Amino acid sequence: MKALVVGASGLVGGALVRVLERSGIEVAAAGHSRASGGAFALDVRDAEAVERALADIKPDVVFLAVNVPGGVDRCEERPDEAYVVNVAGTTHVAAAAATHGATLVYYSTDYIFDGTSGPYAEDHAAHPVSVYGRTKLEAEQAVLKLAPRPLIVRTTAVYGWDRASRNFAMQVWERLGAGQPLRAPDDQLCNPTLAEYLAEASVRLVQQGVAGVVNVVGKERVSRVELGRQLARAMALDPALITPTPTSELGQKAARPLQGGLKTDKLTALLGTEPLDLAESLKRFRRQWRADTHTTGAPKAGGGAGTTEAEQLKQEILAKVRRYWEVAHRPAPFVPIKSRVNYAGRVYGPEELVNLVDASLDFWLTLGPWGDLFEAKLRKYLGCRDVVLVNSGSTADLAAVMALMSPLLDRPLCPGDEVITPAVTFPTTLVPLVHGGLLPVFVDCEVGTYNVNPRLLEGAIGPRTRALMVPHTLGNPCDLDVVMDLVKRHDLYLIEDACDALGGTWRGKPLGTFGDLATLSFFPAHHITMGEGGAVLVNNPKLAKIVRSVRDWGRACWCAPGESNTCGKRFGWQLGELPRGYDHKYIYSTLGYNFKPTDMQAAIGVAQLDRLRDFIERRRQNFERLYHALAPFQDGLILPTLDPRADPSWFGFPITVRAGVSRNELVQRLETANIETRQVFGGNILKQPGYRDIPRRIHGTLAETDRIMRDTFFVGVYPGLSDGMLEHVVATVRSFFR
């Protein structure tokens, strides 16, 4: 299915885009009133532009979630504008959808009723009391007349965390966060509806082929003032600042349907479960709020008189934490020989400690809003389709392989299928293949790049070869021109192990965005750290849900920890041989584990991501300094091979000794000078005691692999190295050759 969301820059439209993408549905997004990342401009008032858009995109379904900016009162003030957008604009979209055979989903409102006898069912007679209500009703009639089998979704009191929106939740945030009172009507009844739930239920209805009018709202019917107080509590604001006020005293320009709200009997019957209740909705809203507002210990709102005592105490604690870093964690001056020159290590400031303590005070513990924020920031930085946070680079590799073996995939890898991989590798790049019953096909590597030899890859492909799993060793990109050509010509899956390479590029494109999947590690030795942690990068849309399922016990359910009924039909599924109505939270669609890190780890990672660009630049500078300083010793040393198509984000500086030079003696000289060294991981992994008897196929010889095992080591280039440390490394090598 291919979807077009018109109004993607709004609250409902934005939620629809996220839900559709999360469901693995191809989606195009169009916005007008506000800019939206990835959305193209479309003005529904322009009939020709609407027609061109549908002709170009050819969607199967169009979600129309457009409203007049400024809402109900703006419509009352400018009825002509309301008509042009709500009626004429809807007519243009409905006509184009009919021309191109697309299903139209139109979003309407309980404001088409007068509010004298709510809540209202779908078949109640409409009687609007405002311009907004009249134009929405007329738009409904146009949709029913023009569009083939449309779905009209009526809703009310839609809220969600969206700083650019004027929905009621954001009004509560802005006013109470600044310590200002907010008057809210105590005589207007509604069904509070979380935007994400509205989107999820809408997509489910479309997938079931439902047509006609359906009310999609939250379960409870409450007053606006009660909703405001519940939202205030969810955002740790003072609900006492919300003043109950009769609608007649608010001075609103448009009349409101006071006894409003909508009945959900039809929705319950269609989805097989009751609508999302307010408590569950607020729990999910709170997660959205936390993910956006928890940045480096910033106050959650304006910091005025409305800030709670708990929030004030937290800010005092976080101020002390910043001071503690200055006293206890500021790096000590470097003293040659006496100070250790590590090959890698954590580089951090007060922000990491502040985020860690902030998260611990919230006591969320399991993966939550900090994890959401980390995934969103890294996804934006790399431009990949999805980022799935896991608890190590090793489990990232395992999750990636398991996802490619999942029965949820159309063409999964099966035991006995072959996966090409280099023989110079880190163990956990290989272990998932062995445990999965896949047959690793080992290819020799190159001295200089320390990557798989690209000239040998095609010859390694056999009748059962289904995938490549290739690391960018020590941050040096492998030849992705060759790799991607083979992937396309032979229809192979590709997993990039980018654990050493975050921030590197090939022909200007970030590493980790070439393969169907890629993996990262956030162990302290890597480019950024959260202590333990890793991520799977998803570039193949069919794999996004599968990877998350593998990470979350293999569940079919996609609810976040502590949440329930995200799908809107928790007890309405019939999957496998389970009885109908079996709890969706305990239905398992693939093999999986719990690979999640904690939210406290993710909080550290958020601060680290803010340093990533600087970290990458410093790694490159440190590498260049070592390269030029060691160039005079190339009679005895082989320095790294640099490809002009690549811009590495180096993990380390690899060195291979030439004939007549002893690696062990050079390494011992460096270690004696308190300079840390490392071998290139497992060397020839097949020489390791735990790997000698694994099933395998070897293509050609592994002569260069054996040489790397004998003659290669690396030193650090990480951002914690000072000029004095690097000079000490160079001076020690110089003294060795003297």
Within 10 Å of residue 546's Cβ, how many Cβ atoms? 28
Q: Which of 46, 43, 160, 145 is nearest to 104 (CA)?
A: 145
Phi, psi angle pair for 511, to nearest 5°? -60, 145
526 is catalytic: yes
Measured CA to CA in angstroms, residue 78 lies from 253, 560, 677 at distances of 11, 42, 72
Residue written as token pair 């060759």? 482
Determine which helix (DSSP H) or strand (DSSP E) holds 517, and give its type and residue range. strand 517-521
Under a CB-based contact definition with an 8 Å cutoff, are residues 422 and 445 in contact?
yes
Residues 228 and 109: their CA atoms lie apart, in Å, by 20
- Which tokens is 196 given? 């994400």
Residues 229 and 239: their CA atoms lie apart, in Å, by 5
Helix (H, G, I), strand (E, B) or coil at 543: helix
Phi, psi angle pair for 641, to nearest 5°? -85, 130
- Which tokens is 534 given? 């890793």
Q: Which of 368, 332, 103, 346 is nearest to 211 (CA)?
A: 103
Burial track 216-253 (b if 16+ CB lie within 10 A, e otherwise)? bbbbbbbbbbbbbbbbbebbbbbbebbeebebeeeeee
Helix (H, G, I), strand (E, B) or coil at 475: helix
Residues in the chain: 738
| Torsional sign, CA 280, 284, 290, 292 | negative
Catalytic residue among 32, 294, 526, 584: 526
Residues 117 and 115: their CA atoms lie apart, in Å, by 6
- Which tokens is 548 given? 């998350």
Active site residues: 526
